[in-house]
Structure 1
Amino acid sequence: MTRVTAIHADITTLDVDAIVNAANSAMRGGGGVDGAIHRAGGPAVLADCVARFPDGLATGDAGWTTAGDLPARWIIHTVGPNRHAGQTDRALLVSCYRRSLEVAAEIGARDVAFPLVGAGIYGWSKEDSIAAALEAVDSSSTAVEHVLLVGYDASTTRQIEVALADR
């Protein structure tokens, strides 16, 4: 069974096999966690995105690149559904986590750190994103041993901890 823990951290500082990036479909960097990961990872991340994803990535899908200058070994990029653009199918949000776990298993990642996908500018609530993450982990048979759900502030981390306790 995959262990899930909450952590209050800057995802770009974590020394894990893989971190997950809440990317946009163009796969060329952006704002929020996407921008932070691209800035911290350096130009190698964008170069690998351009090479691997010349046409971008579909909503709900995931793929990996180098982590560049980050302490993690890989970045798993996933494109969350944008509620503000009418993408309100919760299954797409769950798919982001599920596909990221599948990609992690394919590349041999044993510990993976996730931000709350979709819970920023894409308009999903933190509760929805946490629930989608736990649903994906609980319904997946994955070789990933440890999932870290990263809260960018203490309040978010506490929400994750409460959800884990109620699991």
Structure 2
Amino acid sequence: MKKFLICLTALLSFSMASYAAIGIYEFETLEQEQQFKDLSHTLRCPKCQNNTIGDSNAPLAQDLRQRVYEMTMAGKTEEEIVDFMIARYGNFVTYKPPLTLATSILWFGPIAILVFGFGLIVVKSRKSKVAVAETEKWDSEKEARLKALLDEENNGDKQ
């Protein structure tokens, strides 16, 4: 019985390895192979969102790898393949999206908010200093009242 369980475990482990098979692609030139590797590591999987199509095992990533392979074998350049993927899946498919009006808000929005916020803080603090200085002008009447209060307090301590 023990031998049977060991054999069953070994068979199951070998069968699971067959599901994890990695696609093997054959190329005519080293340039094509390098282009495929570069694109596999620069294009993002639309389904996984944080993996490249080379790292992802999602069916969509496998389809994209196959499409990149076919286009590479057809003699397309990297730019043509990336343009095709952007046309089909949008700028999200690249890790380095181009600077457009929509993406400029993402790039420059936080900086603008920080500059505006610090500017607002500086303006408000300057206004409050001026307001405090204007309301608390010291004159001889206030000085006399202060002396009277201090004298009263000091006389109360002695009694």
Q: Same fold by TM-score, threshold 0.5 exceeded?
A: no
Task: Give the structure with the larger helix fraction.
Answer: 2
Task: Give the structure with the larger strand fraction.
Answer: 1
Rg (Cα) greater in structure: 2
TM bin (shorter chain): under 0.3
How does the TM-score come out when normalised to structure 1? 0.21
